[in-house]
């Protein structure tokens, strides 16, 4: 038997063919953080952290490092003229 254990058909000529047919996708991530090191996810992560740093530098305390919370805190601060403390 040349197929991997989880193969539903068990009819491939070799293990490589079986793996290719399964369409498994690998993720080149950072094992310690679980974050992907490249691509859109990393850009989003870096962007959120920079936006959080920028808000903190202005004295604003968002509820979290998520972009929606950062934007809300900045918007409230701009409307009230006082740094938001989440």
Give yes or no: residues 46 and 85 share one domain. Answer: yes
The residues near 45 (Cβ < 8 Å, ≥ 6 apart) are: 35
Give yes or no: residues 61 and 80 share one domain. Answer: yes
Q: Which domain holds residue 10?
A: 1-37
Give yes or no: residues 84 and 45 share one domain. Answer: yes
Give yes or no: residues 28 and 47 share one domain. Answer: no
Please check whether residue 41 is in contact with residue 29, taking contact to mean a CB–CB distance below 8 angstroms: no
| Total of domains in the chain | 2
Give yes or no: residues 29 and 45 share one domain. Answer: no
Give yes or no: residues 75 and 53 share one domain. Answer: yes
pTM of the model: 0.55
Tens of pLDDT, residue by residue over 21-76, are: 888 766 555 545 555 555 667 788 889 999 999 999 999 999 998 999 999 999 99
């Amino acid at each position: 038997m040349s197929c991997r254990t989880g193969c539903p058909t068990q009819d491939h000529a070799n293990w490589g063919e079986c793996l290719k047919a399964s369409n498994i996708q690998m993720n080149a991530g950072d094992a310690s953080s679980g974050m992907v090191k490249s691509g859109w996810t990393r850009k989003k992560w870096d962007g959120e952290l920079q936006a959080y740093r920028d808000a903190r530098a202005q004295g604003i305390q968002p509820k979290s490092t998520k972009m929606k919370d950062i934007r809300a805190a900045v918007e409230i601060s701009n409307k009230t003229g006082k740094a938001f403390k989440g």
